[in-house]
Each structure stands twice: as C-alpha cells, then as structure tokens.
Chains A and B, each alone.
Chain A
Amino acid sequence: MSFIKTKVGRRSFLKNTSLAGGGIILGFNWLASCQSQPVEEIMAMPDAWFDINAYLKIGDNGLVTIMSPNPEFGQNVMTSMPMVVAEELDVDWKNVLVEQAPYNADMYGFQFTGGSRGMMSRWESLRMAGATARHMLKEAAAQKWQVPTREITTDAGKLYHKESGKSAGYGEMADAASKVAVPDEVKLKEIRDFKIIGHSQKNVEGKNIITGKPLFGMDYYKEGMKYAMVEHPPAFGMELKSFDASEAKAMPGIKDVFTIKAYPEDFVKGGFDTNAFPELIAIVGNSTWEVMQAKKKLKVEWEPFKTYEEKFDARGNTRSVTIPAGLESTENHLAMMTEYDKKPGKIVRKDGDPEAAFAKAAKVIERTYTAPYLAHNTMEPINTFAHVDNGKVFIAGPLQAPGFIEPAISASTGIPAEDIDIEMTRMGGGFGRRAYSHYMIEAALISQKMNAPIKLMYSREDDMTNGIYRPTYRATYRAAFDENNNLIGIHVKAGGVPESPLFADRFPAGAVENYLAEEWEIPSNISIGAFRAPRSNFMAGAEQSFLDEIAEIAGKDPIDFRLELLRKAKDNPVGKNNDYDADRYAGVLELVKEKADWGNKEANVYRGVSAYFCHRSYAAHVLDLVIEDKKPVVKKVTCAIDCGIVVNPDAAANMAEGGVVDGIGNALFGEMTFKEGVPQKKNFDRYRMIRMREAPKEIEVHFVKNEIAPTGMGEPPFPPIFGAVANALYKATGQRRYTQPFLGNNIDLEIKGTGS
C-alpha cells in the first residue's frame, strides 16, 4: 500500500479561482475546439463546476475536467497525464474532459516537455491529485451520510456506503468535496488495481486533429492581427551591417520594416536562451503572402562579425561563452575533427590499465564514426502569436518550456513576469527545437513596436537555416583482443562541433576490464541545441555498430555477446558510477531476441540488432532488411522497451514507432552541411526526409512488464535504431558503414551479403 504526502507541491492544491464555474480557459478562438471528446454523446455539460485542485474540477453532473500540465508535441501527454489523474480519482474515462493547463508555475511546477521527463517527473503529483480529490469526495459523502470515511468506497465516479446501502455520483458530492480540507496524506491505488493506466485510450485530441480544428500556434488568430516574418543573416558568422527597406515598405499590405534584438545586450542567459542571430529585420504586413513578397525586396548588407562573448547563468554564477568569428564549412569541420581525433583528448574515465592492454593485445581494431549536423524540421514551422498591450504581454504559441523563456521576454519588453501570460498551444512537433523559444521574444518585441497583435512565422527556409541544429560528431573506438579473440580493452575518443557526445559511464563501461574514454570539443558559431535524445542519438549508433564488429571477431552471436558483457557488468562490475541497470538492459535484449525470433534465419533477410540505455529507459531493436532494386527496404522492426509502467500502451507504441522511423530516416538521409557559414539545405527538396516508401513495412513494439514507476519514453527508442540500421546494412552488403547519412541521396546498394 502506498501513501503519498500531499505536501509535495502543496501549492497545486490552492484553490484555483480562475478555473471556477465552467470557465473555458483556452483562448477566445478556441471555443469550438476545447472539448476534447464528443461530450454531447456522453453527458450534457454541467451547470456548475467545482474546483477540487489545480488538476481537476468536477461538474455537478459527474463530468470531470482534468488539466494536462505539460505542453503537448505529439508524445500524447495530453491523454496519458489525465489518465493517471483519472485512475486515482476512480472515474470512468469516458466522463473525462481534458484541457491544456495554463502556464502557472505556482500551480503546476515546471511545465516542461523534453528530456523524456514528462511522465517520469509528474507520476507522483498526478496520482496525488486524483487520489486527493477522491479522498475529499469520500469525506464529503461521509459527512453527509454521517458514517466513517473509511467505510466509503468508490467505483467509476460513484461513492458507496455498503452498510447503509447509500450511493451517490461524484457530481452530487463535488460542491461539498471542494470545501473539504486538503488531507495531509492520501492512499494510492495498488498497481494491480489499475483500470485506466495500462489500458490504451485514444488520443483526446484525435477528433480535433482529423477534422482540422485550429489547435496549433500557426492557427492562432485574432481579428485585426498583423503578420510578421524576420530576415536573419544568410550565414553563421555574419551580422547586419545596413539595410534598405524602401522597396519592401512600398509593397502592398506592408505596415513596417524594422530591426529587433531578441536579447538585451547585458542579459545573462539561461541554458536555453540560444539564438543564432542576435539582430534581425522584422517585416510586418496584412497577410503572410504579402509579407513573403516584401521580404524578397529587402536590400541588406551583411558583414562578418568579430568574436564576442555571451554571458550565461551557471547555477548562480555567470559563465562567459566565446562565440568565435568566422565562416565555417563542413569541409573544415571534417578536417578539424580529424585533427582533434589524433590529439590526446580530455580523459573522462579510465578503468584498469588500458595502455598495457592495448600494448600486449594480439589484435587491435580501430573504427571512426562520423555524423553530420541535423535540422529539427518540426512539421509546424516556428511561429508565435503575441500581443503586447496595456503593459501586459500575451503570447500563444508552440513551446516546450514557458519557464525557460519568460525571464528573457520580461527583460526584453521591460514588462514584469507577472504580467506575462503564455498560452501553450499544441505543437506540430518539437524534438528539442522548441525548448529554445527566442522566437517568442521576437514576436513580443514586434507586437510592442507595432502596438498591435501580431503573428510571427518563419518560412520553412527561415526555419531550416536558423540554427539550433543537432551538432556534428565523431567518435573513434578501439578494441584490444587477446590471442583467443577475447575482448580485453576498449578505448573511445569522441568529440564534436561544438560539444562532445560522450557518456563515459554508459555501457560497455563497467563490462570491460580495461577502458579509457576521452573527449574533445571544437568551438563554433553555428548554434546547436537538444535534438531528440541529445548526444545519445549519435553515440548509440557508433557504440552499437562497434560492438557488432567486436562480437563478429570474437565469433559470437551479437545478442549473446552483449548479454555476456551485461552479465559481467552485473556480477563483476568494473569501475564506479556505471550509469545503467544491467538486468533491465539485458531484459530488453532477451525480449527482443524472443519476439523477433532471432534464431530464425530467413533467406535474403538481413538482420541488425542494437540496444541502448538513455533517459532511464532501455530499448532494443531487431531490424530486418531486404534489398529490392538495389535499395534497402526495412521489412520489419521489432522493438523491446523497458520504460517501467506504460500508462497508455498504444500511444507509447506510436511514440516508439515514430522514434524508429525518425531514426531510420536520419541514419539513411539526414544531413545539414555548410559552406562559408551558409546552410546548404533550405527546404525539403534538398533536405531529404524519410517518406512512406522508406518507412518500415511493419513495426512491432513490446514492453517489458514491471511495476517500476514510469521512466523516459519519447527518446529512448530513437538512438539505438541507428545501430540496427548500420548492422543490418552490413549484413546485406558486407560493408560496414561509418559515416552518416548512410545513403545520402540515392545510392544503389550492392548485395554482397554476409548471410543473415
């Protein structure tokens, strides 16, 4: 039996008056879309709503509205988080309405979507919100019926007193319950009693999505609003020198053209205050099309900037970061990475005596893995609605963490944080990109200058060339073997522009007697940011391809070989701080081995396996490849995932499928390159994205069943698929692939086959 102290986040239990009385909290143009389920089929809207706590209110007819606290970008938290509340509240899911919670850190804590932390970090508070409400309902009933609270039971939105035969719906007790004192401690359900958690529920926004309701920031509309776009330097390393907007301003529908600087000069930035181009030219007009046309008429002179410093907050101290001058090219990056790769790096972990192991080795292999920059390419381009009016800022748009950007909006507009309201619209994808919401400051400044509501939009070209990319990385792995081809040492040296991708304490660290990890970093002015499973999305592919080669040399089956290492890491761990649970790691490999029927070797099907740990979860994939017309076709991917309790299994499977597709796409095609600071791809005609034909024909997702509180889900299935692709391609072609993208633009494959 678990109890939870309600003191954690006690402020969420303050009465939230703004939500009282059936109020619709979504903005004025959202009325039509705010009902997430076809209510009319279920129950009429109640005449009165009673706030129980920040997460839920109950209508007098028993309908329950549950707030989803975190921003939604397709990971389906808007369904799964309310499911957790509904479970503990013990209400019928079909009587639940869901709303996106407002941005309010006092009530909801850190409202952040990223790092696969959503369910992991909210699990307790969501359960508590439901359980507390259920307790308060019971108490209200006990008072009314003059019976002890402990004798009251609940089931599917109803209260029962068995002894007296009394019963009532939640709606009848909601008013009284809202006045009951918040208990100090509440009892949570036993996991085995879950009726909603663990049972797939449809996406609460599904119907709105397939009927084209205005859910996204791009769809935010206010009568009389103006449309804005920004012009940024064509190259990293450049800044504005001068511009002539006379022609642009004379274009039809154009209201104004002016420059903005998102961040004030002396602003001490937070970790997510990345923006590539400090000064921009804003163009504002009556319609998107007119602004697009005028933008082409701008005459701008750009010039290379000089090296400058940016100040970042580092846990209370100010850290200076140097932004180097220069116009960088992919060619130079590759040459510099080769140079750094040859020099000694910074040693971050050393177990045993790696130097001696390599010196006495009977055989040493060395392999170098490289991956390019990637653009996030969220399907919905960057945009924001902003209205600065009467000393207040109102913003509505797609972002992963309103708390990250509010201080900067306040500093730039000079308006205090309490007068800033940020509405989190549904995001058309995030993948890390929208944790950096400099565009919201830009929108606020444009609105402030225009003294009007505006909608800022980046064109796809602006979006793709604006930076905040996944960095380019390189890793060189060496392995030492004794005369019997037993692995006796591993050396990894990894780095990137501008950050190292290394996780020195992850597998196979802990399983190898002699282990050395080094890293290096090359400064750059091309801005980078988190991209679905940052750093892991490169390291997993490199490491898992390398392990495949080691297994082959050792003459072992690749799954058995990994399991052997994991057994060693468990029974006889090498070194300290090993950052994974060897049993859970082995668990997904064993599950995928069974579900993919690994022993079954079908002719002309080339199989690659890969597994990885990140965001506290474990994922393993077996990828089955066939070659048709000299092109690789992914016939099937079998996934095994351990992310603890799975709240909404079908939606979690959808995420895993998405991670697999995203990973295959980026492994085969994803690439951004630069020439003299200029991004070489600006739209989907040249930036190749995975499309239906290249997607796997079948993806089968299996979850390890356990009672561990949920761990990450959005990111973990993504990194290992890179290794599975590489290993399957090797089986098919007899050639190892070390450089991503593996195929680039349409390379024909020779089938040589090393057997499947």
Chain B
Amino acid sequence: MANFKLNINGKVREVDVDPQTPLLWVLRDHLQLFGTKYGCGVAQCGACTVHLDGTAVRACVLPISTIREKKITTIEGLSETTDHPLQKAWIEHDVPQCGYCQAGQIMSAAALLKDNPSPSDQDIDNAMQGNICRCGTYTRIKAAIKTAAKMS
C-alpha cells in the first residue's frame, strides 16, 4: 500500500492502494468514478480510455505509481455541462446502443480532435481502431466525430 495524490478532472484526490493497481480500478473502486469502463483489462478494447495530460491512454494497464503529477481527465471531466462538441454530436447522431463502450469512444475521439481538428476518414479509423463497440455503432461514431470536427 502507498499513498498517491492524483489530479483528476481538476481536483486533487488521494488514495491509498497497491502501487501496481491500474488507474482504472482506482477510479472505479476507490474514487467511485464509474464512467471509465472495464472491458478487457489488456489494452485491447478501449473501454477504459482516459486522458493523461491530454493524451488518450488505456487506464486498465496503467499502474497508479506511474502517473505522478500528470493530469487525468475522465469522461466525467470532459466538459462541465455536456457541451463538448463530441458530446453534442453524439446526441445529434444518437450514437449509443447499449452505451457501455461509448465513454471510451468519446475519450479516444476527443484526443484525436485535439491533435487533429479535421481528421480524414483514415485518421479516424486509425485513432479509433483500438475501441471495440460490440453493438456495432461504428458508422455513427464516425459520423459524429465528423460533425464534431465541423462544430469546433
């Protein structure tokens, strides 16, 4: 067990956990931030995607001890009032089916748009290839990303 101070969604949160604990489980079990999902635990599905200093990472394979000062953003912290262009576009295209993968999809897409405000189809494919949607909402996800790109 060790004590960690984390910067999550602009707030400092403290936890006392095994240093090997992946960020995903710290968020879910210790901080009750449930928006970040578990899907595979081996960086294969993207359900756990969060931002670390603005870069998309898989929280399921990120030991808490490696994070240090870096700023963590989860789906709960993506926007104050659900007004991130992606969130608006997601509603416009009514993307989700079951919804379980969607937080991870949005976080991956948000990192993409930050670096590449007008991505091509191929850029989107590349950035989103690590996010599985078992329900098969890929065409809507892609359309929503394009809509969001136009908005911002």
Contacts and interface: CB of A to CB of B under 8 A. Distances in A.
Interface in A200-251: 200, 202-203, 205-207, 209-216, 218-219, 221, 227
Nearest to A686: B44
B82 A210 contact: yes
Contacts of A288: 25, 28-29, 38
Given A203-B96, A685-B42, A659 B136 contact: yes
Given A289-B18, A695-B138, A74 B41 contact: no
Contact of B35 (A213, A289, A651): A213
A381 B40 CA distance: 9
Nearest to A661: B136
B120 to A, nearest CB: 13
Contact of A212 (B30, B36, B135): B36
B35 A212 contact: yes
Contacts of B1: 252
Contact of A662 (B42, B130, B136): B136
B65 interface: no
Contact of B40 (A457, A684, A697): A684
B152 interface: no
A712 B102 CA distance: 26
A683 B34 CA distance: 22
A393 interface: no
Contact of B22 (A289, A380, A689): A289
B41 to A, nearest CB: 6
A35 interface: no
B117 interface: no
A429 interface: yes
Interface string A419-438: 00000001111110000000
B136 A211 contact: no
Contacts of A137: none
B111 interface: no
A684 B97 contact: no
A5 interface: no
A660 interface: yes
A649 to B, nearest CB: 11
Interface in A251-277: 252
Interface in A389-433: 426-431
A343 interface: no
Nearest to B138: A695
Contacts of B22: 289
Given A665-B136, A689-B132, A693-B125, A380 B28 contact: no
Interface size class of A (residues with CB under 8 A): 35 or more
Contacts of A693: 125-126, 129
A378 interface: yes
A379 B101 contact: yes
Contacts of A430: 98
Given A657-B139, A657-B140, A692 B96 contact: no
Contact of A206 (B38, B91, B132): B91
A289 B132 contact: no
B75 A212 contact: yes
Contact of B82 (A74, A202, A203, A207): A207
Contacts of A684: 39-40, 42, 44-45, 132
Interface in B121-135: 121, 124-126, 128-135
A658 B129 contact: no
A683 B20 CA distance: 21
Interface in A650-705: 650-651, 654-655, 657-662, 665, 683-685, 689-693, 695-699
B45 A210 contact: no
A654 B41 contact: no
Contact of B141 (A74, A380, A692): A692
B149 interface: no
Interface in B78-101: 78, 82, 87, 90-91, 94, 96-101
A377 interface: yes
A399 to B, nearest CB: 14
B35 A654 contact: no
Contacts of A427: 98
A73 interface: yes
B98 A74 contact: yes
Given A289-B29, A683-B44, A221 B34 contact: yes
A460 interface: yes
Contacts of A209: 96, 99, 102-103
Given A210-B103, A211-B76, A289-B25, A699 B139 contact: yes
20 contacts: A74-B135, A202-B91, A209-B96, A210-B102, A211-B75, A212-B36, A252-B18, A288-B38, A290-B18, A379-B39, A379-B132, A657-B140, A658-B137, A661-B136, A662-B135, A689-B132, A690-B136, A691-B138, A692-B138, A695-B136
Interface of A: 73-76, 200, 202-203, 205-207, 209-216, 218-219, 221, 227, 252, 287-290, 293, 377-381, 426-431, 457, 459-460, 650-651, 654-655, 657-662, 665, 683-685, 689-693, 695-699
Given A219-B34, A221-B32, A288-B29, 7 more contacts: A74-B99, A212-B34, A212-B74, A289-B17, A289-B21, A654-B97, A655-B97
